[in-house]
């Protein structure tokens, strides 16, 4: 959890699937998959803030990483609310950040990836 100086974004849990477009391939993520990604994004932001503060580092150093994580979180949380909305495009920076989020879930958090998240990871790994 983030402390009061760096509050977590206020997000409603997602209740609908979210289509994402990775390298021209559409992957449908269940609401639970998106919520797991959002939880991991928030944890990574909090961890980055804590690491920088512990090290006595200037927060500007990690601000780019934090901004990228927050942008991804916003895109996942707010996109595709209605049937027929275009999929969220995952390219360039978003792809790199999303691989980092998936690695956090699978590695540091030691949570098993769902079939949807495994499919997403496989698509992200395809050149």
Task: Give tens-digit pLDDT for 3-34.
Answer: 445 555 667 888 999 999 999 999 999 999 99
pLDDT at residue 1 is higher than 50: no
Domain boundaries, the chain: 18-125
d(CA 112, CA 108): 11
d(CA 113, CA 17): 16
The pTM of the full predicted model, rounded to 2 decimals, is 0.85
- 3-class DSSP state of 5: coil
pLDDT band of 68, cuts 50, 70, 90: very high
């Amino acid at each position: 959890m983030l402390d009061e100086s760096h509050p977590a974004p206020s997000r409603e849990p997602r209740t609908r699937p979210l289509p994402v477009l990775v390298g021209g391939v559409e992957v449908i993520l269940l609401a639970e998959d998106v919520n797991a990604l959002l939880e991991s994004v928030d944890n990574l932001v909090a961890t980055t803030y804590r690491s920088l503060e512990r090290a006595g580092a200037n927060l500007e150093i990690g601000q780019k990483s934090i901004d990228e994580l927050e942008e991804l979180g916003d895109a996942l949380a707010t996109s595709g609310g209605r049937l027929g909305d275009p999929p969220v495009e995952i390219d360039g920076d978003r792809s790199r950040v999303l691989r980092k989020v998936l690695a956090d879930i699978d590695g540091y958090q030691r949570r098993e990836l769902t079939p949807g998240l495994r499919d997403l990871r496989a698509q992200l790994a395809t050149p």
